[in-house]
């Protein structure tokens, strides 16, 4: 005990044992201090015995006891010695024994440790160290044989990503008297078979008779019996009185209406046999079952038991602890990899060979309504359907969740597929007939169309073919032979459609319209069509394989690349509706969105949710130029519960309307709530525009205390000086900021922008402009700055070229659009120029006054 911390950490001794299987015997508790041995047991120290069911919330009890002792009188510098024995005689194993001991691996910290397994030399014991040190040998001494392993083991090499579980199996030392898997099978069958069956005139017999009356088809009977056990018997693992291996009887399970995997398996086997179906218990490992063939034969290698049934020569694997088994999915092979039938004549370990599911296990039906346009939010309608264990958890959720909790759960489940959204309706429903759980939602979606290479396009979201992956880093020599873990068996069914604006005019379908191929055992099918105002995509991905051999990975990667590069997408031509177009009759296109936003506001019950709903509608309204409505919504949001972000949003909306004093007041409110100085550059800019130069400089200089870098502060102060008419001093300060980070594109752009708007463009300014554009890879905002500089030099053609390029990449840059209008008028295109200016002012009316302050006004 070298420190006070160790006294706390190691000051309480604990030991666990199972009273129904053996004893805990305390041999010594001693302190060594200054050469003296202090016997705490002799001094009367006593353990307290606790029963702590640590897995009770998982419906598991085992009767485990814990003995605890707070070591009395221990001091810093003492050495604590503890010795105790736990005896074990498992009722199910008879005279056989098994041992599985974990082997700690570095960086586990222990100065000096060892694990030893020993046994009488006359006993036929098998032993092996899985992922252990090489060169281990058993040592005989007298009548005892032992194996000793120093601890901790060296750190294990990094495991390849996406490798099967057996490659990351923990280091363990195993020892057993079981000779082989058939002996394990016979031993466990002797425990299970006596519990099989039920009273012929009891309540279970009537349940079986009811199933028999419903159908004579053995597969239907098997599905109904499995469903009965899954739905009528709740789960409770009872490990007491030998219960870790010994099941309770079917009559007891039915009377209590609960049981663990053993109880459910024995019940299901009994029912199936009574229905004329060949069935037997089957032991499996629920995780890392692929490692079983490499482990020694012992019952401890398994942690789960299911039912193996044979119907018309076909193997079926039925799990009474799962849920949702129906005739359509009864053929699915669970991912346990290997298992052992429990038979009185014994059986060998056998693989659970995967096969293609006959029916989908997951379904998605998703519709986007983009009839209002591709640059505004879309309406969506989605139905995610799940079977099996996922359906079980969702069934519970459907019964327990409601209101905001339900809506939040649904949104979190659909977000990985459709991204950020708001739901006007959200439900989780369980279909008892099909065994499917449905997650359904309708609402408003952030504009799903993305701009790529100057084209608006939509790729079907969450499409299963897009989610297939054969990515596996096998570059290291040690990884060359490691297979890739796949997710079979699986069967996904996906239907997507999008309703297009303009009755579909101007839209085109790209990629392969029909794909049907098999890659590494994964069946891929995709069909896409464009008809009228609707694009439709149907995809299925069906697979059985659970892993792919390492040599086959490169071929699979190449084959899938040919598919993924040609998946269907829809593209809009350049004549699509823009945000400023929603005026006059075209405003009616947005009425469904108006109603949906109003519904979201009405549904919100808590002030925080109400505020968020108003903010969402404000963002929508400001995006289409309805600035007064946006400001009103932000007023409501702030009244419900103000945040710094809300004041930021309202400041921008007010400024866009030309309300500079209102915007300034909001930025100051930001600082009162946030206090991080982030709004000070915006305040300095507004104060400069308002002619309050001293205040502008004060705000800029105050920002120096908050800026992330000195360069940020210098840029802000330089801009404030230029507003105050000190152009030379201001530009010099911005140049100093650039000198701190030569070649920084953003700082070069700051020089270009300030030189352009204040009409002090010379060769050095143009050098900065060109450097900024080139180093930023022709970023649209930087092209805009250079266009202003060209405008000041009277190089209108050059300015127009930069503006066209900037707007092609980012058509929502309203300052660029305004200035392009100015330039186009200069070049004689009065109609086009006035249209650009009108479009820009539709969304940001303040641009006219802003550029007038720079001395730039459209020619009449």
Model pLDDT for residues 17-76, shown as the tens digit of each residue:
888 889 999 999 999 999 999 999 999 999 999 876 554 444 445 667 899 999 999 999
Mean pLDDT computed over 477-506: 94
- pLDDT for 6 beyond 90: no
Task: Kindly report, residue by residue over 709-734, the tens digit of the pLDDT.
Answer: 899 999 999 999 999 999 999 999 99
CA dihedral 797, 800, 806, 807 (to 10 degrees): -150
Total-model pTM: 0.84
For the structural domain made of 181-351, what CATH number should be given? 3.10.620.30
Say how far apart CA 546 and CA 355 lie, in whole Å.
10
Provide the pLDDT for residue 769: 97
Give the CA distances from residue 559 to residues 473, 480, 512, in Å, rounded to whole numbers and listed in that order.
17, 20, 15
* HSE-up (13 A, CA, CB side) for residue 379: 20
Contact 35, 51 (CB under 8 A): no
pLDDT above 90 for 396: no
Query: What is residue 712's three-state secondary structure?
Result: helix
Is the link from the previous residue into 776 a cis peptide, with omega within 30 of 0? no
**Residue 670's CB: how many other CB atoms inside 10 A?**
24
In this prediction, what percent of the chain has a pLDDT beyond 70? 98
Structure tokens at 545: 């394989």
- Distance between CA atoms of 558 and 547, rounded to whole angstroms? 17
CATH of domain 457-577: 2.60.120
Task: Check: CB of residue 355 under 8 Å from CB of residue 334.
Answer: no
Residue 14 β-bridge partners: 68
Which residue from 739, 741, 737, 705 is spatially nearest to 721, judged by alpha carbons?
A: 737
H or E, element range at 309: strand 304-311
- Residue 241 — pLDDT band, cuts 50, 70, 90? very low
What tens digit of pLDDT does each residue of 414-426 get?
999 999 899 999 9
Asked if residues 590 and 376 have their Cβ atoms less than 8 Å apart, the reply is yes
pLDDT at 56: 45
For 754-791, how does the pLDDT look when each residue is reduced to its tens digit (9 = 90+)? 999 999 999 999 999 999 999 998 899 999 999 999 99
* Per-residue confidence (pLDDT) for residue 238, from 0 to 100: 58
Q: Which residue has the tokens 């969702």?
A: 394
pLDDT band at 177 (very low <50, low <70, confident <90, very high): very high
State the pLDDT at residue 860. 77
Mean pLDDT of the chain: 93
DSSP state of 105: B
**Average pLDDT of the segment spanning 241-266:** 87
Local confidence band at 323 (pLDDT 50, 70, 90 cut-offs) = confident
Fold of 1-89: Immunoglobulin-like (2.60.40)
Q: By C-alpha distance, which of 321, 324, 280 is closest to 303?
A: 321
What local confidence, expressed as pLDDT, does residue 18 receive? Answer: 85
Give the separation between CA 409 and CA 426, rounded to whole angstroms: 9
Residue 785 half-sphere exposure toward CB, CA atoms < 13 A = 27
The 304-311 sheet, strands edge to edge: 314-318, 304-311, 278-284, 338-341, 350-351
How far is it, in rounded angstroms, from Cα 814 to Cα 256? 71
Q: What integer pLDDT is reported at residue 395 of this predicted model? A: 87
Task: Quickly tell me which residue has 């352009």 as its tokens.
Answer: 756
* Rounded distance between C-alpha atoms, residue 803 and residue 711, angstroms: 28
pLDDT score for 57: 47
CATH class of the domain comprising 743-860: mainly alpha
Q: What fold, for 579-674?
A: 1.25.40
pLDDT at 243: 46
The 10 Å CB-count burial string (b at 16+, else e) for 596-607 is: bbebbbebbeee
Pairing between β-strand 172-176 and β-strand 98-102 as defined by DSSP bridges: antiparallel
């Amino acid at each position: 005990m070298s420190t006070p911390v160790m006294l706390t950490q190691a000051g309480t001794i604990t030991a666990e044992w199972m009273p129904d299987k053996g004893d805990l015997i305390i041999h010594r508790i001693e302190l060594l201090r200054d050469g003296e041995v202090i016997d705490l047991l002799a001094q009367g120290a006593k353990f307290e015995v606790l029963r702590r069911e640590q897995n009770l919330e998982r419906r598991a009890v085992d009767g485990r006891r814990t003995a605890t002792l707070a070591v009395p009188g221990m001091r810093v510098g003492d050495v604590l010695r503890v010795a105790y024995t736990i005896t074990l005689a498992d009722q199910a194993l008879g005279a056989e024994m098994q041992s599985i001991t974990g082997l700690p691996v570095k960086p586990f910290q222990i100065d000096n440790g060892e694990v030893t397994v020993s046994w009488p030399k006359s006993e036929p014991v098998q032993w092996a160290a899985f992922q252990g040190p090489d060169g281990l040998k058993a040592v005989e001494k007298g009548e005892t044989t032992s194996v000793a392993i120093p601890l901790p083991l060296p750190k294990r090499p990094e495991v390849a990503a996406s490798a099967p579980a057996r490659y990351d199996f923990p280091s363990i030392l195993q020892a057993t008297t079981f000779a082989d898997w058939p002996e394990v099978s016979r031993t466990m069958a002797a425990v299970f078979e006596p519990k099989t069956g039920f009273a012929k005139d009891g309540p279970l017999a009537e349940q079986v008779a009811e199933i028999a009356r419903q159908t004579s088809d053995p597969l239907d009977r098997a599905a109904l019996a499995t469903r009965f056990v899954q739905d009528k018997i709740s789960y409770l693992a009872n490990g007491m009185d030998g219960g870790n291996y010994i099941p309770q009887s079917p009559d007891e399970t039915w009377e209590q209406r609960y049981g663990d995997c053993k109880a459910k398996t024995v019940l299901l086997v009994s029912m199936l046999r009574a229905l004329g179906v060949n069935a037997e218990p089957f032991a499996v490992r629920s995780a890392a079952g692929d490692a079983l063939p490499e482990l020694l034969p012992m019952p401890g290698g398994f942690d789960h038991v299911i039912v193996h049934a044979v119907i018309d020569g076909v193997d079926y694997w039925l799990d009474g602890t799962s849920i949702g088994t129906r005739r359509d999915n009864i053929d699915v092979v669970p991912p346990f990899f290997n298992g052992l039938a429990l038979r009185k004549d014994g059986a060998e370990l056998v693989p659970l060979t995967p096969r293609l599911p006959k029916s989908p296990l997951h379904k998605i039906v998703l519709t986007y309504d983009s009839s209002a346009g591709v640059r505004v939010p879309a309406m969506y309608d989605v139905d995610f359907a799940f079977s099996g264990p996922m359906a079980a958890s969702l069934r519970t959720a459907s019964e327990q969740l409601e209101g905001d909790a339900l809506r939040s759960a649904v949104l979190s489940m659909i977000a990985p597929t459709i991204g950020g959204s708001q739901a006007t309706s959200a439900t989780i429903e369980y279909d008892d007939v099909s065994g499917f759980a449905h997650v359904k939602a309708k609402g408003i979606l952030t504009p799903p169309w993305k701009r790529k290479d100057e084209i608006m396009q939509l790729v079907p979201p969450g499409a299963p073919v897009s989610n297939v992956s054969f990515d596996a880093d096998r570059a290291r020599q040690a990884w060359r032979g490691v297979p890739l873990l796949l997710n079979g068996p699986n069967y996904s069914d996906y239907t997507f459609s999008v309703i297009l604006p303009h009755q579909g005019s101007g839209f085109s379908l790209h990629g392969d319209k029909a794909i049907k191929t098999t890659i590494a055992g994964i069946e891929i099918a995709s069909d896409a069509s464009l008809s009228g105002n609707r694009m439709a995509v149907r995809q299925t991905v069906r697979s059985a394989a659970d892993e792919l051999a390492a040599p086959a990975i490169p071929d699979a990667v190449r084959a899938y690349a040919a598919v993924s590069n040609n998946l269907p997408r829809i593209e809009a031509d350049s004549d699509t509706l823009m945000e400023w177009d929603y005026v006059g009759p075209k405003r009616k296109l947005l009425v469904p969105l108006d109603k949906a936003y109003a519904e979201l506001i009405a549904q919100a019950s808590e002030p925080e949710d109400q505020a968020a709903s108003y903010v969402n509608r404000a963002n929508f309204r400001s995006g289409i130029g309805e600035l007064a409505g946006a400001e009103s919504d932000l007023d409501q949001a702030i009244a419900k519960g103000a945040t710094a972000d809300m004041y930021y949003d309202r400041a921008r909306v007010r400024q866009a309307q030309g309300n500079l004093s209102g915007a300034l007041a909001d930025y100051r409110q930001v600082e009162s709530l946030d206090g991080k100085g982030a709004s000070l550059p915006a305040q300095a800019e507004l104060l400069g525009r308002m002619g309050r130069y001293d205040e502008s400089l004060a705000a800029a200089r105050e920002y120096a205390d908050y800026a992330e870098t000195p360069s940020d502060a210098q840029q802000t102060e330089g801009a404030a000086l230029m507003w105050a008419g000190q152009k030379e001093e201001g530009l010099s300060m911005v140049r100093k900021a650039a000198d701190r980070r030569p070649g920084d594109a953003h700082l070069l752009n700051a020089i270009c922008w300030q030189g352009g708007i204040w009409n002090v463009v010379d060769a050095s300014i143009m050098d900065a402009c060109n450097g900024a554009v080139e180093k930023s890879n022709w970023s649209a905002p930087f092209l805009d700055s250079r266009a202003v500089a060209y405008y000041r030099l009277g190089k209108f053609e050059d300015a127009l070229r930069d503006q066209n390029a900037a707007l092609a990449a980012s058509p929502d840059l309203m300052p660029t659009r305004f200035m392009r209008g100015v330039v186009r008028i200069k070049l004689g295109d009065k109609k086009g120029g006035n249209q650009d200016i009108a479009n820009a002012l539709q969304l940001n009316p303040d641009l006219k006054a802003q550029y007038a302050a720079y001395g730039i006004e459209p020619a009449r």
